Structure formats: structure tokens, C-alpha cells
Amino acid sequence: MSTDKNAMALYVRVVEHGSFTKAALREGVPVSTVSRRISDLETALGVRLLERTTRQLRMTPIGRDYFELCRRGLAEFDAADSLVNDRQAEISGRLRISVPPSMSDLIVVPLVEGFQAVHPKVVVHCLVTERFVDHIADGIDLSLRVGELEDSSLVSRNVSLHRPKLVASPRYLERREPPSHPDELAEHVKVAFSRWDRPLQWTLTSAGETVLIKPVPALVINDYAGVRQALLNGQGVSELPTFIGESALSRGELIEILPAWRFPASKVGVIYPSGRYLSPLVRAFKDFCAAYFLLHPLAEAD
């Protein structure tokens, strides 16, 4: 018995997206077409692959096994096609990426401009969001994220480091004596960056001594651009990533505080789904990111 490989691919998309509607939108076909093709596939196989309700789509046990085999098989087909075409093909098409808010202007714009200078036929769509995206459901090819990867279904390639510095404006330091030790920091922190789902705490280390600080600022914001502006306005001491505060530090608009005390470095990774053969476009951008951040590091290494 031979089954339609396009129907197999459509079945994989339905499962990955969790609904007929989302799969239809992604493939650009009517929902009725998707439903009919999956029904025809089940008829040809003589088994039920999916249990359908008004609220939920669930694989049957044999449907789950069939999905895993189909996904692997389709990846092999893609790999075979790419093996033949990669070196001859011109890099083009649409690339969908996701980045945190603080990276959108200072990092991503020059990064994408550099990539498009080499591959002018590439169009980049960038989703700027604080949350960790669902690469399949959100239709994201690749994302840039700071910190350790927790999702085992994803792959991360480390491309740089992120390490903030403690800074304040000369205006603030004219009014207040700067702290001489991290234990004195709390009263100076008026604004700070934090994600919604995490408590605000800083760890600083110097000469083998480590101090944990839990500031309680008047303004907590999940975008470093806002923190930077508040500091320039004289709103106390806070931490800024090197790439965001660098220009203001070089012009003397901000001054580093307690330079002997360092925050731990966090990894910056290029993240993409595992178990999926990367297209030439995604692979080219991933490799370009590694080369770009080697020349334009986001922070000093240890």
C-alpha cells in the first residue's frame, strides 16, 4: 500500500500546530481541504490517527507512532533535497526570527543589515517579545535568547555573552555619594530591569567574595531601554548590559559604579527546534550570527 506523501506532511503539520485551522493558515489552504486530506489518509491506512472533539485534537496511540515516523521521514526527504541543492542554491526567502525587546534596535538591526548585505534576496520578519516563543506554533525559524535553555526540544548554539554593569549618571552622583560596597546598593536602586515571572535579585562577585542583593526599586521594567533613560535622567544606580550602556559610558553620560564587582555572564544563544533539518537560509543566518558576534561581542569574557 502506498500513501500520499503530501498528506503525510499535512498530518505532521496538523499535529505540530495542534489544530486543523492553524495548519490550514500556515499551508495557505482551506480548513476543509486539510480535514478531507487527513480523512483520506486515515481511510487509505485503515486506521484512525486523530481523535477530534470541538475543543481538542488528540493523537491515537498508532497516530502518535505514525507521526514520529512521518516526521523523521520528511526530515530525511528534506535533507536529501538540500544535499543536492544547497551549494548551488542562492540564499533567498523569508526568515522569521524572535528577539528580546532590548536587542531589537542596537543588536538585531545591524545584524540583519549585515546579513542582507551578503544575501540581498532575504526578507526578515522579526517578532520582538519578552516571552520564550513556541517555534512551531508561532512560526519562528530561529530566536536569540539570553540564559540557559530549559526546553529539551530546542537546540541552542552559543554565540556571545551578556554581562551587565552597574552605572549611574553624573547628575545623580553629584547629589549622592556612590556606594563603596554592594551591601550599600539597595538605597540607590530606583529603577531596574526584571521579567514579570522572576523575582528581582542580583549576584555580584569580587576577589572571591559573592554578595546577593534583592533591590526594591520604585520602577521595575522589562525593557532595558527604559532603564537606560531613567538612569540618564538621574534615577539612581542600576545594571545595564554593556551593549546598551556602551555609548553613554563612552560619552560620560553614565559612569560605572563598583567596577571591581562583576555580574555573572549569561550565554546568548541562537535557538531553533531540534530534530528538524535546517533550511539553507536558517543555517546561513545561524552561522552568520556566530561570525557577527565574534567580531561584535556583547560583553567582556571572564
Tell me the pLDDT tens digit for each residue of 37-75: 888 888 888 888 888 876 778 888 898 888 888 877 777
Instruction: Tell me the average pLDDT across 249-266.
Output: 93
Given 3.30.360.10, 3.40.50.20, 3.40.1500.10, 3.40.190.290, which CATH number is that of 164-256? 3.40.190.290
Dist. CA 170–CA 176, nearest whole Å: 10
Distance CA 202, CA 199 (A): 10
Contacts of 35 (CB under 8 A, 6+ apart): 20
pTM > 0.75? no
pLDDT of residue 219: 94
Domain boundary assignment for the chain = 5-85, 93-159+266-295, 164-256
> Top-level CATH class of 93-159+266-295?
alpha beta
246 backbone dihedrals φ, ψ, rounded to 5° = -60, -50
Give tens-digit pLDDT for 141-191: 999 988 776 666 788 888 888 889 999 999 999 999 999 999 999 899 999
38 and 11 Cβ atoms separated by less than 8 Å: yes
Question: What CATH number was assigned to the domain covering residues 5-85?
Answer: 1.10.10.10
